Amino acid sequence: MDCVFCKIVKGEIPSKKEFENEDIMIIHDINPKASLHLLIIPKKHLKDLSEDDGVVWASIGKLAAKIAKDKNLKSFRLVHNAGEAAEVAHMHVHLLGGVEVTREI
């Protein structure tokens, strides 16, 4: 499989890790769009949310909330692109920290 996130999970491509457990890896985005821009990536290859049974999505939500609290983020945004909207066809969520309500996505 030629999936960039699968290669990152396997350690074949270096990344700046923020967190890792047996199911999820969180890395810093290489092209940040906010003062804090993390990618929350399931280790299991899922195309997008449509292939999840809800368990991964729930884990991502819990981790995002924990990161926001741990980093004292006053505001943050979670973005998940699915189908043709996704640049990489491996489920992931962008956590953008410190964004304002007026900021465009």
Read off the amino acid at residue 52.
Answer: D
> Which ranges constitute the DSSP H helices of 1-105?
4-10, 55-70
**Annotation says 92 is catalytic:** yes
- Unique residue bearing structure tokens 């985005």: 29
List the catalytic residue out of 37, 90, 92, 94. 92
Determine the length of the chain.
105
Alpha carbon 79 to its chain's center: 8
Q: From the CB of residue 56, how many other CB atoms can be counted at a distance below 10 Å? A: 20
User: What is the set of active-site residues?
Assistant: 92
